[in-house]
Structure 1
């Protein structure tokens, strides 16, 4: 059994929607790691981010590649990780 954690993130710089979704994922992963979480299940309404992290989509954009690399380095610190797409209406 686990706990559900919610976190809000405010960006103080201009970012595309996809960059903002990666920022939210990375902030959430850092938050979970700071609480010594070992297993995490993440839900996102960003089909692009979910599919890039899950290696279904290729990442061509240089900036998003950097976000993906950072996200993957954080993900590797968890014993168990899953990222699931959910429709925006259900998020």
Structure 2
């Protein structure tokens, strides 16, 4: 069995997730949206970096997932990661990223474009969905 060159390269792993919730604030029972993202990077040697952020603006769950992906790519670029395996649990985001799903909501199109702009700065990237 022949192994491709990039299969032997040491890949970092990045796990991303985003979430949003709407809770009533008392008083006067006005709905308040909160969103946050989480990232875990695993170095080829096994070291771990964890990040979590609260988003300042309300976001949908899908927007929060994209925010997490973008933040992870920006961090990967900042620390000069060259080989990155990305894992996310959002079927929509992963499949849009892979070109399997079309972008049906205009609100997500700018996230998608930005992700591909950032990807140009990481030479070797793989992406997969995890349940």
- Structure 1 length normalisation: TM-score? 0.89
Question: Which structure carries more strand by proportion?
Answer: 2
- Name stretches of at least 5 consecutive residues in structure 2 with no aligned partner: 1-9, 13-42
Bigger Cα Rg:
2
1:1-91 to 2 correspondence within 5 Å?
1=10, 2=12, 3=43, 4-87=48-131
Q: Which moved more, 1:77-86 or 1:14-23?
A: 77-86
Indicate if the aligned counterparts of 1:51 and 1:57 stay in contact, CA closer than 8 A. Answer: yes
SS across alignment from 2:87 = strand
Which runs of at least 4 in structure 1 moved beyond 4 Å after TM superposition?
Answer: none
- Name stretches of at least 5 consecutive residues in structure 1 with no aligned partner: none
Question: Which structure carries more helix by proportion?
Answer: 1
Aligned length: 87
Say which structure, 1 or 2, has more relative contact order (CA 8 Å, 6+ apart).
1
- Structure 2 length normalisation: TM-score? 0.63
CA RMSD of aligned residues (A): 1.2
